Structure formats: structure tokens, C-alpha cells
Amino acid sequence: MKQYEVENKYLVSEFTINCNGRLVDLTQPAVMGIINITPDSFYEKSRKNSAEAVLQRVEQILEEGGKMVDVGAYSSRPGADNVSEEEEWQRLLPVLSAIRKQWPDLLISLDTFRGRIAEKAVGDYGVDIINDISAGLLDDSMFDTIARLNVPYVLMHIQGDPKNMQKNPHYKNVTGDVLLFLARKIDELRSRGVSDIIVDPGFGFGKTIDHNYELLHNIEQFKMFELPLLVGVSRKSMIYKFLGGGPETALNGTTVLNTLALTGGAKILRVHDVKEAVECVNLVSKTVQ
């Protein structure tokens, strides 16, 4: 057996996360629809620049079968410019307010690496999940904040930061290195009393194309954590730099990789194209009944 290999290869696990007192069952994988309130996210069609546009996007996500939304006001594309904490919050404020007013019970994930932003969003707008691309590396207050807030936390692997992460990323063994990184961070969170942890290998965050596909090939090994697995490959460069084209042509490739992720144990798909991802979940689920 290879190092890091999961013994029960075909084990089907049931997972729940506690979102503000609601137990969310992830036995059937959930689709998380992306909402970018940024001017420079890598996929132009995902950018929303007004509360009205965001509300239309949320309605579309729900109509197409999405179970949660992931709202972000800080672009994490490779080479992205820094955005101040104040600007990030000013972008979020009207959007979170509008969403909560129209959908009080909607599961909202907030894509932020800043503890103070997380605290205000959870306290003022009842945000359900914090999705941190940096696993606490970009704000050393984040883990203590999550422990205090008692909300589910997406723990994602990254090498470097958005500004420099694609400048010659390197690993001794990408799967082993990412698993070890996540294991250590899980221990840190659990030592603070955090139990609702979602793991994310961080496709595209400090990885070459080959690194990304090696991680996907070994995706079942992430079952060793016995935690929900989130996969975000939607329209990323690992698809279009390999096949050609750009983000706008990468939907078919996204569906293929989402299928592989689901068969490997993914419980949340973070996507731009909700309808297609929901169909993917339904078809994969039908084959394993």
C-alpha cells in the first residue's frame, strides 16, 4: 500500500456540518455557487458589481439546485492586487445585507482570509461558513476567531499568497505535502475546539498543472481526515491551459473534473455553473445507489 493511501477505498461516509444550529447533511454532495463582487476575478462572467446583480445571481443559483453560495470580495486569482480590509468590507456590506433580507435562511459561505471580516460578517449577517484560502497563514487571528464564532471553516491548502503563489511552486511530493499541511492545521483547529472543518486541497493555489492533476488522481486519500471535502476546479487554468482556450471555454472540462472529484469523495463542489454541477452530482449519485 502506498504511503497516505486510504485502506477502505470505496467507503461511503456520511457527513454533517453545524451551520448556526442547523445540521446540514452532506451525504448527498452539495453544490456551492460562486458570487464574486470583485472587478478582477479570473472568470469575467462571475463578476457582480451591484447588490441587484448579486440578488439575480443568488436566485439563479437556487433555481438551478445550488444549496449554498460563496461570496467573495477579494480576488484570489494569481497575481491579484491587494485589497484593503476596509474596501473588502465596503464591497461586502450591501451584498450581505441584501442577501439576508431576501433569503434569511440561505446558507452563506464567505470567502475571506481576514479574521475581522469573518467576525463582522458572522455577527452582523449570520454568515454560516468561513472559506479561508490561506488556512490561517495570511491572518494569524483567524483560527482563534473561528473558535470563538463556532462556525464551519473551509481549510484550504495554499503555497505562498495570491500575488506570488504561481511563481515556481514546488513540492517534494505534492499529495503528501498537502496532506501533511492539512493534518497539522486540523490539529491546530481542534486544539482550539473547532470541530466543523471542511478540507480543500486548493487546486490552482501554488500548484503547477501537473501538481493539480496529481492531487486529483490521489483525491481519495483525503478521506483519511474523515471530514467533508470541498473541491473547486471550476473553469480554472488547470483545464484551459492544458486543453487550450480560456475560462469561457472550460465548462466541459470542469464537468469532467467534477465527476472525478465526486467519485473520489468530494462533498461540496464550488462552481460557477450550478446547473451542470447539480446534474453531475445527480448522475454520479445514481451510479452508486
The ranges assigned to domains in the chain are 26-287
- pLDDT tens profile 133-178: 999 999 999 999 999 999 999 999 998 766 665 677 789 999 999 9
Catalytic residue among 235, 236, 241, 275: 236
Nearest 10 degrees: Cα torsion 32, 130, 17, 104: -70
Q: Is the model more confident about 269 or about 77?
A: 269
148 is catalytic: no
| Cα 129 from chain centre | 10
**C-beta of residue 33 within 8 angstroms of C-beta of residue 66:** yes
Sign of CA dihedral 154, 158, 162, 166: negative
- pLDDT tens profile 11-35: 344 589 999 899 999 999 999 999 9
Look over the chain and give the mean of its residue pLDDT values, rounded to a whole number.
89
What is the pLDDT averaged over residues 87-100?
Answer: 94
Instruction: Indicate if the pLDDT at residue 5 is higher than 50.
Output: no
Q: Tell me how far apart the alpha carbons of residues 195 and 206 are, in angstroms, rounded to a whole number.
A: 27
Looking at residue 46, its amino acid is S
Whether the full predicted model's pTM is greater than 0.95, yes or no, is no
**C-beta of residue 32 within 8 angstroms of C-beta of residue 66:** yes
Q: What is the DSSP letter of 217?
A: H
267 is catalytic: no
Q: Does domain 26-287 have CATH number 3.40.50.300?
A: no
